[in-house]
Amino acid sequence: MKNTLTKSLPLLIRLLRKTIKITCDRDDSKDKSIIYALWHSQALAVALYGIDKNIYSMASQNKDGDIAAYILEGLGFGVVRGSSNKDGKDKGGAKALMQIKRVLEQGYNIAITVDGPTGPPKKVKQGIIYLAQKTKRPIVGIYADISKYISLNSWDSFQIPLPFSKIRLFTTEEIYVKENEDLETYAKILEQSMINLELKANT
């Protein structure tokens, strides 16, 4: 049973969104079948921009994932459940990949935290590269520059934008991963591109 706070979070986040000015350097109104890449620490900041835009996201198959899925659905996101494999155990990753492929084929965009769910922070994992390669859909990296926020004491220093703050979203060029290309090479390319966005935001 979800507690009262969890149940109220989608409403509270929607109220927070009304106080925050968000700009983006990309015209996403015509985006179709795009794979958005973001840091786990900035998931809330990016989600504020994506409210009710019919974007899909992933949530792990555990209790934390249950809460994340509930919040995302309350904000107008679609949700695919599953996690990457770890220690040889399938946590729904293969099934999730099939679901994501169908979502992209239907023209929906999907947002993925590329260093989640457990880090290390700001290190791109190969899953999103593999997805882009198999679906032949482009990756667009996103960085959120938040004027005022608090950081949680978590592995990623999760950022919570404060009311009446400003968020500037910076995006990379579209990155396509060709068949038979090295996944690690492209993971490093995406990672450096997202780091460059942070440098751009701070200049």
57-103 pLDDT per residue, tens: 998 888 888 999 999 999 999 999 876 544 444 455 677 888 999 99
pLDDT at 1 over 60: no
d(CA 191, CA 104) in angstroms, rounded, equals 22
Q: What percent of the chain has pLDDT over 70?
A: 94
pLDDT at 2: 60
Q: What percent of the chain has pLDDT over 90?
A: 81
The mean per-residue pLDDT over the stretch 29-33 comes to 96
pLDDT at 83: 62
Q: What pTM, to 2 d.p., does this model score?
A: 0.92
pLDDT at 92: 56
111-154: pLDDT as tens digits: 999 997 888 999 999 999 999 999 999 999 999 999 999 999 99
